[in-house]
Amino acid sequence: MHEQDQISTLLARLHAASPAGFAIALHVRYTAPRYLFQSYRKDWLDTYSREGLVLHDPVVRWGFSNDGTIRWNALDDPSGVMKRAAAFGLGYGAVIAFLRNGSRSMAGCARSDRELTDDEITELKAILECLHDLTERVETLSPAVHMTLKQMSIYLTHG
């Protein structure tokens, strides 16, 4: 299976495991990821962006300063970002974050109907690790794979 197909398959698995959406930041350097995939509802993404909620988001804060996983309901959220997210169908979720080979990747994955199980969180972590590994060396990715990743990012974010 080509890298392009592997990445598409992993994103499809991620979407199935987090039906209310996800945000993935791969290979974050300083504060900017090399790749950002978001599949949350557009009205939530618009609100989040317009109100600058990234500055107060406990998912982002935890992802930058921790390795491992945590459910959203265990995060410290003094600004009420998670309560706002719940109003957009993002009631339950988990954060996955790790630093490997000097590169940090993180994800927030959501459901609207119930908490993610431990097994689901383990699967999400494995998917994120595979995506991290597949995209680790951008210079070794073919131009076609690199372009596909950019297009997927734009499609998921604005779709």
pLDDT single digits (tens) 60-75: 999 999 999 999 999 9
Ramachandran angles phi, psi of 90, nearest 5°: -105, 65
Domain that holds residue 20: 3-158
Q: Which ranges of the chain does DSSP label H, i.e. alpha helix?
A: 3-17, 42-50, 58-65, 81-86, 118-134, 143-158
pLDDT greater than 60 at residue 156: no
pLDDT classification of 1: cutoffs 50, 70, 90: low
Which tokens go with 33? Answer: 């990821």
| Alpha-carbon gap, residue 105 to 95, rounded angstroms | 11
Q: Are 8 and 149 in contact (CB under 8 A)?
A: no
**At 86, which amino acid appears?**
A
- What pTM does this model have? 0.86
SS3 113: coil
For residue 32, pLDDT over 90 is answered with: no
pLDDT exceeds cutoff 80 at 89: yes
* CATH (domain of 63): 3.30.450.80
- Report the Cα–Cα distance between both ends of the chain, in Å, rounded: 26
